[in-house]
Copies of this chain bind each other. A is one copy, B any other.
Amino acid sequence: MQQTIQISTHNQNGLYDITQAVQKIVNQCNVETGIVNVYAQGATAAIMIQENWDESVQTDVINLLRKLIPSGVWEHDKQDGNGDAHLKAGIVGPGETIPVINGKMGLSTWQNIFFCEFDGPRQLRTIAVTCVSSK
């Protein structure tokens, strides 16, 4: 089974927790044992598994990527001005594949699924979620 999640983003760079939306799709999949692929359909966005105890790690992720991949110094900036967003997306990657164990995602206590916006705000961002049974 496959469904999409649609979200709006409100900042140029931001992490958005989509764990519950993904788990809801997994619940409907009737996959007991298998995998779920979570994929951001956008070349300036990504998926990251990260802690969500509070907002500190999300802030740290944005600051780290800003430091490693500064804006305004790339070839691609001559065209769109968003070279840094493409590079961040490429390094973090658009997808994660997570085990499904007894019908639930096999995330540890502190693992949450985040949509990473690197070129926002955007009215519509789409994430494809695909469940596959291992049987």
Contacts and interface: CB of A to CB of B under 8 A. Distances in A.
A134 interface: yes
B64 A97 contact: no
The A interface, classified by DSSP as helix, strand, loop or mixed, is mixed
Interface string A34-54: 110101011110001111011
Contacts of A44: 110
Copies in the complex: 3
Nearest to A95: B97
B64 A87 contact: yes
A30 B94 CA distance: 24
A111 B89 CA distance: 10
A72 B54 CA distance: 18
